[in-house]
Amino acid sequence: MNKTERALVISESLDVLYPDPPIPLNHKSIFTLLIAVILSAQCTDIRVNKITPLLFKKANDPQRMIKLGTEEIKKIIKPCGLSPQKSKSIFELSKILVKQHQGKVPKSFVELEALPGVGHKTASVVMSQGFGYPAFPVDTHVHRLAQRWKLTNGKNVQQTEKDLKRIFPESEWNRLHIQIILYGREFCTARGCNGTSCKEKPCSILNSNRKRPIKTKKP
């Protein structure tokens, strides 16, 4: 199969498994989505979803987050890890949103990536899941599966994102990146699958005759 054929198998298989994939991080606004994504760095979505209700009950907008202060933010988000850096980023970006953006999350990659603690992946998640702008955020699951499915060489996440955007139609990006994450968690985990014993589509089709384990590069 060439990449176009593989991409079609992937899209069709994931649409069957996850016809209406939910956004993994619970949120009620663009701002709370942004904060949740920042907290998800090196932390599971499950844990983030347990912590954010506690945080957002006290501060669900930039103004309240500023009043809450760095130390209180740090205490609440400690279970998510990296709390000193994350709390500082959340506090500082809240101040910037109030001073420069009328308390609203900006709707552009350039402005989002200028905020403390916001890299390209975080901005991509907010743009796609929050604003509905076509984007293809690449996390560890997406990066791993793109290699296992021979869609990229795994050189880095930037190259993986470019390769996936080139292979799949823009109209599929926002849905597909969530579907891949869900599939990577449920069926094709980092240690639970190496391409030789796949039983669920699309892996079972793409790697049906594979004898040797697939080695993937980490982000």
pLDDT along the chain (219 residues), means of 10: 93 96 96 98 95 97 98 97 97 98 97 97 97 96 92 92 97 97 89 69 80 68
Q: Which pLDDT does position 213 carry in this prediction?
A: 63
Which amino acid does the sequence have at 41? A
Q: Which pLDDT does position 12 carry in this prediction?
A: 96
Phi, psi of 44 (to 5 degrees): -75, 150
* Residue 200, burial from CB neighbour count under 10 angstroms (0-12, 13-18, 19+): middle
Q: Which pLDDT does position 50 carry in this prediction?
A: 97
Q: Which pLDDT does position 88 carry in this prediction?
A: 98
pTM of the model: 0.91
Q: Which pLDDT does position 110 carry in this prediction?
A: 97
Q: Which pLDDT does position 195 carry in this prediction?
A: 58
Written as six digits, the tokens of 204 are: 């079972």
**Cis peptide leading into residue 84 (ω within 30°):** no
Q: Which pLDDT does position 105 carry in this prediction?
A: 98
Q: Which residues are catalytic?
A: 121, 139
Helix (H) / strand (E) containing 206:
helix 203-206
Domains for the chain: give ranges and CATH numbers: 3-20+137-206 (1.10.1670.10), 30-130 (1.10.340.30)
Q: Which pLDDT does position 194 carry in this prediction?
A: 62
Q: Which pLDDT does position 143 carry in this prediction?
A: 94
**For residues 127, 132, 137 and 139, what is the CA-based torsion angle, rounded to 10 degrees?**
100
Q: End-to-end CA distance of the chain: give it in Å, rounded.
A: 26
* Residue 159, burial from CB neighbour count under 10 angstroms (0-12, 13-18, 19+): middle
